[in-house]
Amino acid sequence: MAAQVRDVVEQYVKLVASGPTDDIVQLYAADAVVEDPVGSEPRKGHESIREMYAALEHMQNKTTELLDIKVAGKHAAVSFTLVGGFGDQRMTLSPIDIMEFDDEGKIVLMRAYWGPDNMAMGPA
């Protein structure tokens, strides 16, 4: 299971940068829940999760860097950095995502831990 979890996490981080949105959504179980960031209204199901990731389609020159993965059974803690642009602004976001997986290797719960101190905006 650990290898499968690690593979899905690696796909996830790569797809956050490259898309397409539907490929990200397919990593989730149909009734998955996403809370991004923690404290925001949780999104449940593919349609709601798709809306969240669709916002990334407008980001230009996206890159991601996987910093660390810790796997424990059907759970993973993932540290990565997302860099991209919106017009003349460049954003760098460094979340820690906590994920839970089902027996098929689909994400059933993802909670993203980040706040203002983990996001930097500047000129592109």
Residue 28 a catalytic site member = no
Catalytic residue (choose from 28, 36, 53, 97): 36
Task: Reduce the DSSP state of residue 3 to 3 states and report it.
Answer: helix
Residue 12 a catalytic site member = yes
Residue type at 7 in one-letter notation: D
Cα 16 from Cα 13, distance rounded (Å)? 5
Q: Which long-range contacts (CB under 8 A, 24 or more apart) does 39-48 make?
A: none
Structure tokens belonging to residue 65: 């860097």
Q: Minimal CA–CA distance to 79: which of 96, 100, 93, 99?
A: 96
Q: Minimal CA–CA distance to 98: which of 121, 78, 71?
A: 78
Catalytic residue (choose from 12, 28, 53, 97): 12
* Enzyme catalytic residues: 12, 36
